[in-house]
Structure 1
Amino acid sequence: MCGIIGIISKKDVLSDLFVGMLCLQHRGQDSAGILSFKDKMKLIKNEGLVGVIFGEKELEKLSADVAIGHTRYPTIGSDFLTDAQPFMVSKPYELGMVHNGNVANYLDLKKELNLNKKCLLSACDVEAILHVFAQALPEDFSVEALFNAVKKVFEKVKGAYSVIAVIEGKGLLVFRDPNGIRPLIMAEKNIDGIKSIGFASESLSLTTTGHKLVCSIKAGEAVFVDSDLNITSKSLAHEKPAHCMFEWVYFAGAESIIDDLEVYTARIRLGKQLAEEWKKTGLKVDVVIPVPDTSRTAASSLAESINVPYREGLIKNRYIGRTFIMASQAKRENGVRLKLNPVESELKGKNILLVDDSIVRGTTSKKIIKLVKDNGAKKVYFASTCPPIISPCFYGVDMPSKKELIASKKSIKEIQEYIGADLLIYNSLGSLKKALGKTDLCMACLTGNYPVKIPKETEKEFEETRISERKQH
């Protein structure tokens, strides 16, 4: 899962792009990059956070009226610098690309491209998309040729990918995989007659800079904006949409609107559905406490629904990143120790209902419950807005192995005992669907039913590769 953004205008876009990337930092913390075009392509990318990599000097060097940016959370590849996006090619003309998602058949594509002497310089899957796309382009530029090349990508590249590309002297191209698994939105602004058109993973990265949300790019759709800001769009594939439910549960910022559903509204509904599950237990609690930050909205809604006080009993250290998207288990465990500080007055002597967005490996939940009990809680009940995660994700969430998913091998009762909760409840699949109000969802990690079929040998190879890469951290 990464953050992508691209803006084109008749004036410099770097200030807006930089602010937009800061708003996407929650989607990736390991590296970031910007590619811009004004007379020539200019690229800066590095390890670290957006605000550290890009100062005034860097932004001045990149100054241009079209640019793309990326914040990286790795689900394939292990070298934060070598695998940092954007990537570029020079033939048939210069173009650069960023993407959010995960190419399920990346290892097969890599072998094929290497056989065709298109040697990949990284382990980042967008480089494979870029080469497949560039190989399908003729030397003579046309919008029709661009769309035909996107069609070729749709035919060859399997998995989840939302893509933004800048094309030398021509404009900005975006496309979304045939199932629309990863989000991609379009927004515009017009100030004093100067128009700006932007695309991004989330609306908040563009509305923050004054853009107005226009739409979500449809599954299988491609959009090209030329240097005169003329827009051409075309639907190039017609698969059943399968939008990742985890965007609303965890990844996306609460302020964002994705595929016509506000994330904040979705989380309010998730909390209300979870309250219905809690009422079935017949238990009483003194207080509802969220595991910050993502679960706050759902926890407040749950507390209101069961008429129990909502309190902030765990305070997040603002200088520690999101532990779920850290690259290794060791980093995640250290992150939990540093990330959350207990408020003893809200915990001591109380029966507490802790609310979190999900339970993946169980290690984080276990440490949090111990922390709360160590600070005097009498009983600690635990509630997850997301149903049990039982299957690996091959579409951009770093859950490549069934072995590491606690719900794939333990019952709810066994998970409850492992994490040390006095009771554990989850939202059901039905509750999740009702909260999101959508049927066009990817819920493969909850059901094992994948919208893009993946051969078993590819699954195994992907799992082994990703686990090996993680060990390097």
Structure 2
Amino acid sequence: MCGILGLLLQNPDGPAATEICEALSLLQHRGQDACGIVTCGAKGRFYQCKANGMVRDVFDAKAVATLLGGMGVGHVRYPTAGSSAHSEAQPFYVNSPYGIVFAHNGNLINTTSLKHFLDADAHRHINTDSDSEMLLNIFANNLQKTGKFRINEEDIFTAIQGLMVQCRGAYACVAMLAGFGIIAFRDPNGIRPVGMASRALADGKRDYLFASESVVADACGFADWEDVQPGEAIIVTRNSLSRRRLAPDATFAPDIFEYVYFARPDSVLDGVSVYRSRMAMGQLLAEDVRRIMVEEQVRIDVVIPVPDTSRVAALELAQQLGLPYREGFVKNRYVGRTFIMPGQQMRRQNVRRKLNAMALEFSGKNVLLVDGKDMLTLSKQKKGNKTERICYKDSIVRGTTSKEIIQMAKDAGAKKVLVASCAPPIRHSNVYGIDMPSPTELVAHGRTTEEVAAAIGADRVIFQTIENLVASVRQFNSAIPTFDCSVFTGEYITGGVDDAYLAHLSRLRSDNAKRKEAPTEAAPVAPGCAGPLNGADDTIGLYNSWKGTSEKELAERGVVA
């Protein structure tokens, strides 16, 4: 999962980087592994800064000051099919044709055939394992076919339409053509989100913004948010806005997991308030919890969420059941999402660094814990003879981290605990850009509900039905015919997903591969060019921003600090 952003200011010398940096911080929840910004100056020259790390760490005042120009593309990333290597930080760049910068959220499922095509037919070099680089080169190759000295909107639409035929999978993309403008497009099924907003200026012109979530527009002073439609491409320049639906016949199926976990509650995706959909999840789940309480004679004293994603649904669930709602966990906001962290051991260590349980809210109580998605890896350790019961809600994915959180509640004195989930059991891999583990690592894979409870140390687990989950989202926009629910059902909307592909994807996503590729603490990587070129090349006008570079060195490189 990643966050993408494109910004075009009417002022060609405007401080686009400052606004992009601020906007990326609002998308930080979508990726904490790496981030990057590439801007374009008045003369069509690109300026770049990207590296592993979070927005606040990569972009200090000096780095932002070196990113010149009034339009740019930004990206926050955590790796899925690729590795955690610095070389795969986005945006990516190719100099031919015309100079293209590219940011992508999603995952392709036909990368093997695409790579062969790019090598054997297009003769374009792919330097990383990232399917984002493949998308960029497919787009670039299609533009190259025009053979024109200068292209127009019609050429760009034709190139994207060809890309949509060639590439299968999920993709929301933002691209920038040197000296031309910003382009955004979305896969024919609309699996991954992206939208557009604008800001009126005193002279009647408008600045334009593209982003993964509407919260960016709200916070940055942009209005008139609208989603890029599935199979649609939008091109903005300083003189025009053009849009076209290039693949109108595919089934619209946004990923329902955005509403369960990934998106911020204050965002609206495809006309659906994430906040309201999570309220509805809590309402529907409360019905099942109430039934279990009656049938099994279970008493619950308090509902406690595990911050932050589950708060909305947990509060609604508590109100529906007439139960007290309390904040029993205090979150350290300076520790990243454990779901995104590579390595099971690292995730386990960071759970207790991230959360602290207040014994006052747990001691001697039958607790209903409501969690967003921090219940993570499969555990094979045996349980002790515990009598506590825990209540947990949202999306139980793996199990080791869930055991840690459950144990924290027990250590804090919880008497009994029950576990419930706003989502159905996750038993299948996600192939569209969410880094789910292989099915054998999923705690619900091949297990009954009772066996899942035993694996995570709970006495009882209640899962939301797939019908209720879909209803909780779709009720706010009946124009959405269906959702991608493949992690629950194993049915992939794009087709083309077989056992061989899933095995291949599992190998790419293994934590061991990520640790092998990631830079170590002993050898940190400085921000700079880390895209397909793997180095600075001033002859093509790609300028790098380096932390710690002296003012003299920056001046020698032609960068104004």
Match of 1:225 among 229, 236, 244: 236
Residues 400/177 of structure 1: CA separation in 2 closer, same or farther (3 Å cut) = farther
Counting only pairs closer than 5 Å after superposition, residues 48-447 of structure 1 correspond to structure 2 as 48-116=53-121, 117-137=123-143, 138-140=146-148, 141-193=151-203, 195-228=206-239, 230-237=240-247, 238-281=249-292, 282=294, 283-356=298-371, 357-437=394-474, 439-447=481-489
Deviation at 1:464, TM superposition (A): 1.9
Q: What is the alpha-carbon distance in structure 2 between the residues aligned to residue 321 and residue 90 of structure 1? A: 35
CA distance 1:156–1:455, change in 2 (3 Å): farther
2:398 is paired with a residue whose SS is coil
> Which structure is larger by alpha-carbon Rg, 1 or 2?
2
Structure with the greater relative contact order (CA < 8 A, sep ≥ 6): 1 or 2?
A: 2
Question: Partner amino acid for 1:7?
Answer: L
In 2, Cα distance between equivalents of 1:79 and 1:414: 33
> Contact 2:108–2:170 (CA<8 Å) still a contact in 1?
yes
User: How far did residue 120 of structure 1 move?
Assistant: 1.1
Instruction: Quote the sequence identity (%).
Output: 39
- For residues 462 and 232 of structure 2, what CA distance do their matches in structure 1 show? 39
Q: Distance in 2 between matches of 1:316 and 1:338?
A: 9
Worse overlay, 303-312 or 8-17: 8-17
- The more displaced of 417-426 and 66-75 is 417-426
User: Partner residue of 1:470?
Assistant: 514
Contact 2:279 2:316 in 1 (8 A): yes
Instruction: Report deviation, 1:58.
Output: 1.6
**Post-superposition CA distance 1:160-196 (Å, at most 9, x none):** 1000000011101110001000001111111434521
- Shift of the 306–129 alpha-carbon distance from structure 1 to 2, 3 Å rule, reads same
Q: Name the stretch that deviates more: 263-272 or 354-363.
A: 354-363
The answer on whether the counterparts of 1:30 and 1:80 sit within 8 Å (CA) in structure 2 is no
CA deviations 1:328-384 (Å, max 9, x no partner) are 222221221211100100000000011122111122212111110111100011111
Read off the aligned partner of 1:309 and give its amino acid letter.
P
User: What one-letter code is carried by the residue in structure 1 that aligns with 2:312?
Assistant: T
Do the aligned residues in 1 keep the contact of 2:40 with 2:179 (CA within 8 Å)?
A: yes
Cα deviations by residue, 1:388-411 (Å, 9 ceiling, x for unpaired): 111101001111511111112111
Q: Spell out, residue by residue over 1:35-77, the C-alpha distance to the aligned partner (whole angstroms, 9 max, x if none).
A: 1111211111111011111112221211311111000010022
2:80 counterpart SS class: coil
After superposition, the C-alpha distances for 1:197-238 in whole angstroms (9 at most, x for unaligned) are 10110011221011114211110000000132x110000112
CA contact (8 A) 2:174 2:182 kept: yes
- The secondary structure found in structure 2 opposite 1:441 is coil
Contact 1:91 1:134 in 2 (8 A): yes
Q: Indicate the SS of the match to 1:172.
A: strand
From the superposition, tell whether residues 242 and 314 of structure 1 become closer, same or farther in structure 2 (CA, over 3 Å).
Answer: same
Measured after TM superposition, the shift of residue 465 of structure 1 is 2.4
Distance 1:59 1:92 in 2: 27
**Which amino acid in structure 1 is aligned with residue 101 of structure 2?**
G
Q: Distance in 1 between matches of 2:69 and 2:219?
A: 20
Q: Distance in 2 between matches of 1:380 and 1:462?
A: 36
Using the TM superposition, give the Cα deviation of residue 107 of structure 1 relative to its aligned residue in structure 2, in angstroms.
Answer: 3.3
CA-CA distance at 1:471 after TM superposition: 4.9
Contact 1:394/1:400 (CA < 8 Å) preserved in 2? no
Residues in 2 aligned to 1:83 and 1:405: alpha-carbon distance in whole angstroms:
27
Counterpart of 1:22 (choices 3, 22, 25) is 25
Aligned to 2:503: 460
Moved more, 394-403 or 322-331: 322-331
Question: 1:108, 1:350 → 2: CA distance?
Answer: 57
How far off is 1:108 after superposition?
Answer: 3.2
Bigger shift: residues 258-267 or 103-112 = 103-112
Q: Would you tell me which structure has more strand in proportion to its own residues?
A: 1
Q: Deviations over 1:306-341 (max 9, x none)?
A: 011100111111111111112222222122121110
What is the distance in 2 between the residues matched to 1:391 and 1:269? 24
CA shift in 2, pair 1:206/1:309, >3 Å: same
2:130 partner letter = C
Which secondary structure state, in structure 2, belongs to the residue aligned with residue 309 of structure 1?
A: coil
Cα-to-partner distance string for 1:288-318 (whole Å, 9 max, x where unaligned): 0011110011100100110111001111111
**Structure 2: gaps spanning 5 or more residues:** 372-393, 475-479, 519-561
- Partners of 2:109 and 2:321 in 1: CA distance: 42
- Counterpart Cα distance in 2 of 1:336 and 1:158: 36
